[in-house]
Structure 1
Amino acid sequence: MHHGSCLCGAVRFTARGALGKVTACHCSLCRKHSGHFDASCEVKKSDLRIEGEEALRWYAATPKARRGFCATCGASLFFDPPHLDWVGVSMGAFDGPTGTRLALHIFCADKGDYYDITDGLPQNAQ
């Protein structure tokens, strides 16, 4: 079990089982939503339990995905493509160690000009 929450604790979640690979997304939407690039892992929808849903807000950023954040503190928490069976959970929202490591960078062609990616991990343009 992995537990997490937003900054103020109004939205809490539990993810059962192993977490999916950790991906850093550098697209302009993730950068605007998170303030930098977004690092998240995939969790099966059936393995994710969310508490405090009254404080959770969803923003339909595109027709293919929505983003979940806390209405109280503004913390970025979830990336949900409704047509798929998983939710991306922001790594910074987990409490304590996750036992995971960053595995991949995506949308690197859209990354900000103020940083370099130098960790040696695979980088996909899209």
Structure 2
Amino acid sequence: MTTGSCLCGDVRYSVSGPLRPVIACHCTQCRKTSGHHVAATSAARDGVKITGEVTWFQSSPQARRGFCGTCGSNLFWDGPGSHLSIFAGTIEGASGLTLAGHIYCADKGDYYQIADGLPQAEGDDPALTTQVPR
């Protein structure tokens, strides 16, 4: 069981089931909502239980972003598919996860370099974003 929360604790979640390795997203929307890039894992929707009130922002026709209306913590990215993305920094305690790659590198900020040797995709990469351990 994995648990997490926003900064103030008003929104909490638990995940029963496996989490995908962490993927760093460098798209413009992620950079604007976080102030840098986003590091997110994901889990099957039916394995995620959320308590508290999540505020949802429809950031594109295909996706919305979930955050705490009290403290503003970014928690979720909810797009098409069977999984809900969870911002890795909101997980409580050791996650056991590792960073597996980077997406939307064409949109990354000019003030930093990606130098960790992990796979990089100019845009989305289903091979990275849909991988879930068995």
What's the TM-score, normalizing by structure 1? 0.95
Cα drift, residue 21 of structure 1 = 2.0
Residue 121 (1) aligns with residue 100 (2)? no
The structure with the largest strand share of the pair is 1
Contact 2:17 2:44 (C-alpha < 8 Å) held by counterparts: no
Give how far 1:65 is off.
0.3
Q: Which residue of 2 aligns with 1:64?
A: 62
Residue of structure 1 equivalent to 2:130: none
> C-alpha root-mean-square deviation of aligned residues, in Å?
0.7
Q: Give the distance between the partners of 2:21 and 2:91, measured in 1 at CA.
A: 14
Q: CA deviation at 1:103?
A: 0.1
TM-score of the aligned structures, taking structure 2 as reference length: 0.90
- Which amino acid is the alignment partner of residue 113 of structure 1? D
Q: Percent identity?
A: 50
Aligned to 2:15: 15
Q: Deviations over 1:22-68 (max 9, x none)?
A: 11000000000111100001111000000012xx1000000100000
2:38 is matched with: 38
Cα distance in structure 1, aligned partners of 2:9 and 2:42: 21
* Structure 1 unmatched ranges of 5 or more: none
Q: Distance in 2 between matches of 1:47 and 1:97?
A: 19
Tell me the secondary structure at the aligned position of residue 62 of structure 1. Answer: coil
User: Any runs of at least 4 consecutive aligned residues in structure 1 with deviations exceeding 6 A, and if so which?
Assistant: none
**Gap regions ≥5 residues in structure 2:** 124-134
Alignment partners' CA distance in 2, 1:21 and 1:122 = 13
